[in-house]
A and B are shown apart, each in its own frame.
Chain A
Amino acid sequence: MNNAIEIRELSLSIEDRSILNNISFNLGEIDIACLLGPSGCGKTSLLRCIAGFEKPNKGEVLIKGVITSNPNHYIPVEERNIGMVFQDYVLFPHMCVSENIIFGLKNLQQKRIKQRLDELIELLDLGDQINKFPHQLSGGQQQRVALARAMAPRPGVLLLDEPFASLDIELREQLAHELRSILKQDGITTIMVTHNQLEAFAMADVIGVMRDGKLRQWDTAFNLYHIPKTLDVADFVGEGVFISGEVINNKEVKTDIGNIKGYVPDNLTKGEKVRVLIRPDDILHDDDSEITAVVISKAFRGAEFLYTLEMKNGLHVQSLVPSHHDHPINEPIGIKLEIDHLVIFAD
């Protein structure tokens, strides 16, 4: 299968400040990718490089197999056949919803324009809004209009810059699922930028975790969570704590809370000091367990409590516990380890 997007060793610096550093990845047709990372990690700059608003100093951007940017060659934004949805949607305030949507449909017969408009209105459920102006729409409606406008010319790739940031938190996850099914229905290759991992998990086939201008890992959500390749990724994705340990052999690591079995990478040899990632779901509450830990703090999350526990040796770990187990602070509770994926890094 052809790649819809190919980024080859791309670097960008603005005024001698390095923004992006040697980034490469491929994205297949109709796949949805998320660029995930804290603010300032360069994810929006990467999106703008793909769009053509920034010109990379090194490396190449290919859209549908065509080189759109490299240091010697640059196709202007308007000729790249991309669609983009900006963080605050930026609808044209002087045009009504339908005018906004068909803005990018030029050189088409009226009949075809009407057809595409109807299609999008149906897909995005905008039937009652078509004659309204942007200031008369709610945030969620604005987002859908912006999306329809970007999708209308059938772009080769759709770029979304923090599309949920202006919406209520409660709406975001639901909308992310909705958006995913709309994009899949229309068959558009999509790259989305976000700093919210739940949005990324809900939307993406593949996620790129970025930090300090580098792409740290390009992988599925499951792998990012359970098999993170670097300490940064492990730290940024999901919750958890690191505890120190020592490699016993290629299948086992010794830690203060007991020995943990699992796959130990070949580059870590016996006796090496390591850090082991303990996720809250790795530590189960078990009243019969001999190991106990004292509740230091707890956060109620509806179905679960996230307990922060102090073990006998002073180590802090987190544990997700069904919320009918309501233990007061300072009470010792029994815990047991259940680690399916051993995640360790050289210390």
Chain B
Amino acid sequence: MTFKKFSESFYSKLNFKLSNFNLALVLLSLFFCIPLIIICGSLFFPAKDVWTHLFDTVLVDYIFNSFALLIGVGFFSLILGVIPAWLISMYKFPMSRYLEWAILLPMSMPAYIIAYSYTGAFDAAGPVQETIRELTGWGYHDYWFPEVRSLGGAMAMLSFVLYPYIYLLTRASFTEQSVCVLEVSRTLGCNSVDAFRRVALPLARPAIIVGLSLVLMETLADYGTVQYFGVSAFTTGIFRTWFGMDNSLVAAQLSAVLLLFVAVFLYLERRSRTQLAFHHTSSRYSPLLKQKLIGTHAFFAFVVCFIPLLLGFIIPASFLFDWAISAYSGVFNKDFYILLLNTLMLAFVTALLALVVALFLGYTNRNSYSFINKFLVRFVSMGYAIPGTVIAVGVLIPFAWFDSRLDDFLKLHFNISSGLLISGTLFILVFAYLVRFLTIPINIVEAALGKIKPEMDEIAKTNGLSHINIVKRIHMPIMRGSLLTALLLVFVDVLKELPATLILRPFNFNTLAVRTFELANEERLADAAIPALAIVLAGIIPVIMISNSISRSRPGYE
């Protein structure tokens, strides 16, 4: 039997048992839903005493701080995101071409890293205050300086790195939709301020809300910053309940409450996305005619757009760079290379697995009209909204339970101890990553497969291509770029992930993110700088890809 015949008969067998594929899809999806089921299920086990205690002591703090963070971060990132988006889409001014993408750079900075950097630079012992004291001759307590490690500081840190979400979506909305409508509004007697207020801003509202929801979800998910600043928020509360009070049930229940907030923003985000579809005004592209600003206007526009970049990237990155140079000689030893290798391997394996799973889900769904399938895949792809801390809790509880049951069983019948067979290994870490990051490859694979029309397969079949050859010669060349993108994005996200890794990593296993966190917590900021910079550098890759894809998606773009 030739290989071709074999592969064809193999495929027809698979085709015949397509229902098995569907079954596999259902089981696999349910598997990835375990953490969510556990978290939500925990609500059915009352733990009234602990909750009364929590309520009397820390719960109000958690809620107050988390709300304050949401409001503060929401407010500042709206200002930092929307105004530059408007200026850059409508006007030309010095450096505007560079600021257009440079303003995205803070996306590459995880909030916990910018938090260390600002603390190191601006706290009482840091170089900035030291310079102030030297110049003025004041002592430590002779002057007022904002405290970096505070609730306000956490708001600032999160806003500085999260505003690009709002910038990106708002700018896309301004440039895609408003140019024609703005012209119409001018023929109807609006000057440019009127046009912004009455047309552009209301039109961009759904996009702004999508961006804001993403920012707020990230704010709720943040662990590193609030922990480092000593702000009691939900995520730090979950940690404390689990490891401090050793109460996994209540930790899960706290996670469930946190998820409730997330769900609100997720709903907002989804609803606004559907509104966005109706807000397309024009099928034709009309080239942007940006107005040129001169004099003080130009200077003002430049400053307004430069500030977010300065705060979110230039200041923290230059301090990190400075420390990295000073700590350079001591860092590159065997331990560091092992750390680097571990991290890269972990990120690569996770990314590859995520892609394989996404391809399986995508292809099975492509041939199926089952509502259950589509629903399950949608459900699995919501993982990105779930905070890492919550996922870690939801992963650890069932696997630890399974391990101890297995251990009991083996001890009882075979007198063997299996110990922490799963929960002490990399397996659950990778599993948790998959739960959180599968969203990215699922969406990308789905979009890529959507571009391959069924007619293309049919044409290929009429040309005598076997199924495997169709995948090889038609699907893969079309999807290659998208798949690579998916791989890279997951890779970078794993590199940056902190809270889940912190909880789930095996004993003595470290990643760059965890090591940065540990060093910073030991106040060894200079040593933390090099792993931190490595993460930032990796984080720049997706930023470049995003800004490239924006400029490619708009034909008349200058």
Interface residues of A (CB under 8 A from B): 51, 53, 76-84, 86-88, 90-94, 103-104, 106, 133-135, 149-150, 153, 159
Contacts and interface: CB of A to CB of B under 8 A. Distances in A.
Contacts of B199: 92
A20 to B, nearest CB: 17
21 contacts: A53-B289, A76-B186, A76-B191, A77-B183, A78-B187, A79-B189, A82-B187, A83-B187, A83-B188, A84-B183, A84-B187, A87-B284, A88-B284, A93-B280, A94-B279, A103-B188, A134-B281, A149-B188, A150-B188, A153-B189, A159-B187
Interface string B185-220: 111111100100011001101000000000000000
A90 B282 contact: yes
Residue among A79, A87, A93, A153 with max Cβ neighbours from chain B (10 Å):
A93
Contacts of B189: 78-79, 81, 104, 106, 153
Contacts of B16: none
A76 B188 CA distance: 12
Given A90-B281, A92-B281, A150 B181 contact: no
Contacts of B278: 93, 133, 135
A161 to B, nearest CB: 10
Interface of B: 180-181, 183-191, 194, 198-199, 202-203, 205, 278-284, 289
Nearest to B205: A94
A173 to B, nearest CB: 23
A15 to B, nearest CB: 12
Given A78-B188, A84-B183, A86-B183, 4 more contacts: A53-B183, A78-B186, A87-B284, A88-B180
Contacts of B194: 78
Residue among B184, B279, B280, B282 with max Cβ neighbours from chain A (10 Å):
B184
A77 B203 contact: no
A76 to B, nearest CB: 7
B281 A93 contact: yes
B281 A91 contact: yes
Given A53-B183, A150-B187, A94 B282 contact: no
Nearest to B187: A84
A79 B282 CA distance: 25
Nearest to A133: B278
Contacts of B279: 93-94
Nearest to A158: B187
B188 A90 contact: no
Nearest to A87: B284
Given A78-B190, A94-B279, A86 B203 contact: no
A94 B202 contact: yes
A133 to B, nearest CB: 7
A77 B186 contact: yes
Nearest to A102: B188
Nearest to A155: B187
Contact of B181 (A79, A90, A159): A90
Nearest to A165: B284
Contacts of A104: 187-189
A134 B282 CA distance: 11
Contacts of A79: 189
A43 B191 CA distance: 26
Contacts of A81: 189
Contacts of A76: 186, 191
A233 B261 CA distance: 68
A159 B186 CA distance: 13
B61 to A, nearest CB: 40
A153 B188 contact: yes
Given A78-B186, A93-B278, A88 B283 contact: yes
A81 B186 CA distance: 10
